[in-house]
């Protein structure tokens, strides 16, 4: 045997599992198709948001949270409807994860040196129903250091284990097959890829230079999802969401290709909930791309007006930051792949953030002074947002609405927007901000957000008229569907053991992270509450490492 355990995939879940194994004295072979520069996988590029329940940060901001409220939110969002079959383990994973987020998670992370911003974000505010989708309260805790900050303690520990001889890295090793003998998985076979010194995230070659085989009593698969493979996204796109877009931008590197899903199925693993996925509707074409089709997501505050490609204001609950998949489903019914934000300079200065470690240099660099000066006390939009306004293909700026709509129409093959239609809707909305009460649900939501101190300080601008010249200039932003997460995958029990078609564990095989639907083959059900992707990798990777060690 080449190791006690083989971990396929050097992303966050794989590193967490490896740490758990080596802390128990196990020898681990870490296998990954990319080079050493990509250690940590796509988690490196993330904003570093983590879902926590009843945290000190929440309490300091006046937020009253509890396990009961969070579990109610999770169930309303997940909408588990395959409880006797594909969701049978997912729902158990979901409850275990919410218990973790409300209990041990914070102390465990604190012990690893992971710290959070003092303000808590209110992501995915929901479908406006108490028993429906969404976070009732802010729970999105951003890590100092963003994604690299989450990875840092695990990368450090794995490298220390490598120095002591417990970890062997096998970079540029592409797994093509799980070795099965006597019904048990005992290793992996695959292709040796040519060396490639491309920087982190840049697509690497797939030149074959040989073959390899590694054996071990246990294998943990942590190879991620399908977001970088548009063909697979379209193949499993659910009918309930309408037709798949012809044009999408890509929110993850090209190596997030989903190869190990079918390879696992060939070894007798059961794949479930493949029709569940999580893609954003606020994607931008990156003006400075790293991987092919590189897209960046806007993390919007609640004030931008959202219009479809024909200039019709989106209905409830399709509001900025509220209900991702309801918005995606609605937009897929419009016959066009893009939509629009219309906003003011006043809104963009306070409400626009861009997802990703590289788009948030102050937080990624642990520069608290820069964060305070730019985000809370500074004038103008954050520097990365300003760069997109200057250089991005999806931004237009104008002094009048007539001029703005004309510029927006220049970004499409034919002029689809009618200025009078857009104006009528904006003017109707503007009439609603004269009083501290309103019948407009978005204006109500803005005022509700500003009752939360975190939003009032840094994420939600005071209500004002979109067409007020003092708030201008006007800004139009063309939005695209951005691929991101796989919500289904390998069905696992609570020990992260991969299950076969009859529900029996496949001996010697474990799965964690996105390829396992972040636990159980789909811990999120149909909807995510945000901060739960990295958290799902942490929790399921920890479970897998501990169980494989036993």
Structural domains in the chain, CATH included, are 5-165+268-276+487-548 (3.50.50.60), 279-482 (no CATH)
Q: Which of 151, 165, 206 is CA-nearest to residue 29?
A: 165
Cα–Cα distance for residue pair 497/490, rounded to 1 Å: 9
- Count the residues in the chain: 550
The tens digit of pLDDT for each residue in 90-146 reads: 999 999 999 999 999 999 999 999 999 999 999 999 999 999 999 999 999 999 999
Predicted model pTM = 0.97
Backbone angles phi, psi at 306, to 5 degrees: -115, 125
pLDDT over threshold 80, residue 313: yes
Q: Name 511's bridge partners.
A: 221
Segment 177-203 shows an average pLDDT of: 97
Q: 514 with 8: CB under 8 angstroms?
A: no
The SS3 call for residue 221 is: strand
369 vs 522: which has the higher pLDDT: 522
Q: How far apart are CA 195 and CA 174, in angstroms?
A: 12
Q: List C-alpha distances in Å: 283 to 228, 233, 303, 407.
A: 14, 16, 17, 19
Cα–Cα dist 95/101, whole Å? 10
Binned at pLDDT 50, 70 and 90, residue 533 comes out as: very high
**What local confidence, expressed as pLDDT, does residue 378 receive?**
75
Taking only the tens place, the pLDDT of each residue in 449-482 is 999 999 999 899 999 999 999 999 999 999 999 9
pLDDT tens sequence across 504-523: 999 999 999 999 999 999 99
Tokens 């000066």, residue located: 373
At 161, give phi and psi (nearest 5°): -65, -35
155 in Cβ contact with 170 (< 8 Å) = no
- pLDDT of res. 375: 75
* 312: phi then psi, degrees, rounded to nearest 5: -95, 130
Task: Indicate the helix (H) or strand (E) that contains 212.
Answer: strand 208-215
**pLDDT at position 56:** 97
- Of 352, 252, 336, 337, the C-alpha closest to 295 is 252
């Amino acid at each position: 045997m080449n190791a006690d355990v083989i971990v396929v995939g050097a992303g966050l879940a794989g590193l967490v599992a490896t740490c758990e194994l080596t802390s128990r004295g196990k020898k681990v072979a870490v296998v990954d198709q990319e080079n050493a520069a990509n250690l940590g996988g796509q988690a490196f590029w993330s904003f570093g948001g983590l879902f926590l329940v009843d945290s000190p940060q929440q309490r300091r901001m006046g937020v009253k949270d509890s396990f009961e409220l969070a579990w109610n939110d999770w169930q309303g969002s997940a909408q588990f409807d395959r409880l006797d079959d594909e969701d049978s383990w997912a729902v158990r994973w979901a409850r275990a994860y919410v218990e973790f987020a409300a209990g041990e998670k914070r102390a465990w992370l604190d012990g690893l040196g992971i710290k959070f911003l003092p303000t808590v974000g209110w992501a995915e505010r929901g479908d406006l129903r108490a028993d429906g989708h969404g976070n009732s309260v802010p729970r999105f805790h951003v890590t100092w250091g963003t994604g690299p900050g989450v990875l840092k303690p695990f990368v450090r520990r794995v490298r220390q284990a490598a120095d002591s001889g417990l970890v062997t890295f096998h970079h540029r090793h592409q797994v093509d097959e799980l070795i099965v003998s006597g019904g048990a998985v005992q290793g992996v076979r695959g292709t040796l890829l040519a060396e490639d010194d491309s920087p982190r995230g840049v697509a690497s070659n797939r030149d074959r230079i040989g073959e390899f085989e590694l054996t071990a009593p246990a294998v943990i698969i942590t190879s991620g999802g399908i977001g970088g493979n548009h063909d697979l996204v379209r193949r499993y796109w659910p009918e309930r969401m309408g037709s798949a877009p012809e044009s999408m931008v890509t929110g993850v590197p090209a190596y997030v290709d989903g190869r190990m899903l079918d390879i696992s199925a060939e070894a007798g693993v059961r794949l479930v909930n493949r029709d569940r996925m999580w893609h954003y509707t606020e994607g931008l074409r990156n003006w400075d791309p790293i991987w092919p089709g590189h897209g960046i997501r806007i993390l919007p505050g609640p004030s931008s007006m959202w219009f479809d490609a024909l200039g019709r204001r989106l209905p409830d609950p399709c509001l900025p930051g509220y209900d991702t998949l309801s918005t995606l489903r609605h937009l897929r019914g419009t016959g066009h792949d893009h939509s629009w934000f219309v906003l003011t300079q006043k809104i963009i200065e306070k409400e626009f953030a861009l997802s990703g470690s590289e788009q948030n240099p102050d937080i990624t660099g642990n520069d608290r002074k820069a964060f305070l000066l730019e985000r809370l006390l500074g004038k103008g939009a954050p520097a990365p947002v300003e760069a997109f306004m200057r250089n991005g293909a999806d931004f237009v700026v104008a002094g009048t609405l007539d001029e703005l709509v004309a510029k927006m129409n220049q970004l499409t093959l034919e002029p689809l927007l009618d200025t009078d239609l857009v104006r009528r809707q904006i003017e109707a909305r503007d009439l609603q901000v004269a009083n501290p009460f309103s019948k407009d649900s978005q204006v109500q939501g803005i005022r509700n957000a500003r009752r939360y101190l975190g939003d009032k300080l840094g994420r939600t601008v005071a209500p004002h008229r979109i067409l007020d010249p003092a708030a201008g200039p006007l800004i139009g932003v063309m939005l695209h569907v951005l691929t991101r997460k796989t919500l289904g995958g390998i069905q696992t029990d609570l020990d992260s053991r991969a299950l076969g078609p009859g529900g029996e564990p496949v001996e010697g095989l474990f799965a964690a992270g996105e390829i396992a639907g972040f636990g159980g083959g789909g811990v999120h059900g149909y909807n995510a509450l945000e901060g739960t992707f990295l958290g799902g990798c942490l929790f399921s990777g920890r479970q897998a490492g501990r169980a494989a060690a036993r």
